Amino acid sequence: MDDFVSIIQQFLTQSNNLNQETTEYKNVNVNENELIEKSIQLSESIQESFSNEVINANSMNLLLNTTLINSENTIKLLEEYSEKNNLLKQKLKESHGDILTNDRKTYYESEALDNLNLWYRFFLMVYFVLVAMLCLSLVFSQHNLTVAKCIIIGVLTIFYPLYIDYLVNRIYGLWKSIIDRLPKNVYNNL
């Protein structure tokens, strides 16, 4: 009977062990299914991430190619402008001496014109002082002129700067036309 009890105990022990192994197998099987699902999700996310990275790499490659083409065109344009600048520098060096001479000439011409204007203003002021003295002498001093003659003399002297250029040009034109009509010695006017 002891043998029988020991066999039953052994059977119960094996049965318990079997139950434990069955639950462990079920647990392992459940864990395996969870792991398979997680691996599928992980592989899908990796696949999606990889696809996105491939798209990004392709777009970056296109941008790089575009940038390389643009930089090559920019370098060509820089070379063209450098050549044009060098040509302009050479032209500037060639004409620089002329420019300096012309600037010097312009400076002296403008200085001479300034001096001429200064003298013109000076003589104009002297003229108006003399005209004022003449008008005052016509009014306040004793003379044999009538009032009409005094007014005519005053008006003519006051407006003298306005009509003298016209008169001088007319007189000079008349003199030149007379000289041009006179017979000439051709050998003297070559």
pLDDT digits (tens, 9 = 90+) for 28-86: 555 677 777 877 887 788 788 888 888 888 888 888 888 888 888 889 988 998 999 88
Instruction: Give the Cα separation of 21 and 25 in Å (integer).
Output: 6
Crossing angle of helices 147-158 and 2-140, rounded to 10°: 150
Residue 154 CB partners (closer than 8 Å, separation 6+):
134, 135, 138
pTM for the structure as a whole: 0.39
Using CA atoms, how far residue 139 sits from 5, 146, 153, 154, 160, in Å, is 171, 11, 12, 10, 19
Residue 131 CB partners (closer than 8 Å, separation 6+):
157, 158, 160
Q: Where are the domains of the chain?
A: 2-188
Condensed to tens digits (0 to 9), the pLDDT of residues 129-164 reads: 999 998 888 888 888 888 898 889 889 888 888 888
